[in-house]
Amino acid sequence: MEHKEKYKRDELLELLWHLRETNESTLPLLKEHKPMEGYMEDVKSFQSSGIILMEGEVITLTAKGLTLARGIVRRHRLAERLVSDVLGKGDDEMNQAACEFEHILAPEIVDSICILLGHPKNCPHGLPIPAGDCCAEAKDHLASAVTTLSNLDVGMSAKIASINTKDEARMFKLMSMGLTPGSVVLMKQKVPAIVVKCGEQQLAIEKPIADEINIWRP
């Protein structure tokens, strides 16, 4: 029962973070998004514990609440990347696994996953992954598993691990070209321009863009 209550409170924190991202942190929208059984008791508990502030029907995460919610969301979205990019699972399996992982992953394991994946900035759905200490410190003791596309040697193939760009238009453009996590690319040339083959397409890519595409080392 204790674990069930913890999971329910974690889900509420995750939802509050999501509503904060979309500037919709109000009680009616909370109920509309996820009418969880007993959620009002948790809302009141969060308020008395200093996790949220209530002004009428507007809900604001406090510094304490932001820290708790940030950790849960970071674990969930990194788990999505891991299950999608490394294990190649679809949406249903990815979401189920991520929902389990977000409750059990220890902080040091989360950072190791983040480093392994090359500090991805977005989850497979395009939502931002909150940065951790490992991102700020640019730790690279596991980074040997991942490098950028621009470092791939001519004639070598590699699988894309993640796309690290804050430019949504660029992200969608790369994905429309077939450059998505899990896709295999072959480096055709690097001078005077980077040219790769992905599927049946041959694509010319500028180096700054290639630097934002992480690949698993061959």
Q: Is residue 109, in this structure, part of any structural domain at all? A: no
* CA 144 to chain CA centroid, nearest Å: 20
On the question of pLDDT at 147 being above 50, the answer is yes
Q: Is residue 186, in this structure, part of any structural domain at all? A: yes
Q: Rounded to two decimals, what is the model's pTM?
A: 0.62
Q: Could you tell me if 152 and 58 lie in one domain? A: no
Identify the domain boundary among 104, 131, 163: 104
Q: Could you tell me if 85 and 168 lie in one domain? A: no
Structure tokens at 129: 């992954």
Helix then strand count (H, E) for the chain reads 9, 8
d(CA 179, CA 195): 13
Q: Is residue 130, in this structure, part of any structural domain at all? A: no
The CB-based long-range contact list for 64-67 (8 Å cut-off, 24+ gap) reads 65/13, 65/16
Question: How many percent of the chain have pLDDT more than 90?
Answer: 22
Backbone angles phi, psi at 117, to 5 degrees: -85, 0
CA 154 to each of CA 4, 86, 146, 183: distance values in angstroms, whole numbers, following the listed order: 52, 24, 17, 17
Q: Is residue 139, in this structure, part of any structural domain at all? A: no
* 177 CB neighbour count, 10 Å cutoff: 15
| Contact present, 126 and 100 (Cβ < 8 Å) | no
Q: Where are the alpha helices (DSSP H) in the chain?
A: 2-21, 27-33, 39-48, 63-81, 91-104, 107-116, 133-137, 168-176, 207-210
Range of the structural domain that residue 46 is part of: 1-104
- Mean pLDDT value across residues 69-81: 89
* 110 CB neighbour count, 10 Å cutoff: 19
Q: What is the CATH number of the domain that holds 171?
A: 2.30.30.90
Q: Is residue 155, in this structure, part of any structural domain at all? A: yes
Q: Is residue 208, in this structure, part of any structural domain at all? A: yes
d(CA 141, CA 115): 8
Q: What is the CATH number of the domain that holds 17?
A: 1.10.10.10
Q: Could you tell me if 177 and 78 lie in one domain? A: no
Q: Could you tell me if 91 and 152 lie in one domain? A: no
pLDDT of residue 139: 53
Q: Could you tell me if 13 and 84 lie in one domain? A: yes
Residue 87 pLDDT class (50, 70, 90 cuts): low
Mean pLDDT: which of 11-25, 31-45, 84-98 is highest?
11-25
- Mean pLDDT value across residues 200-206: 91
Q: Could you tell me if 16 and 91 lie in one domain? A: yes
Q: How many structural domains comprise the chain?
A: 2
- Mean pLDDT value across residues 171-188: 86
Identify the domain boundary among 55, 84, 104: 104
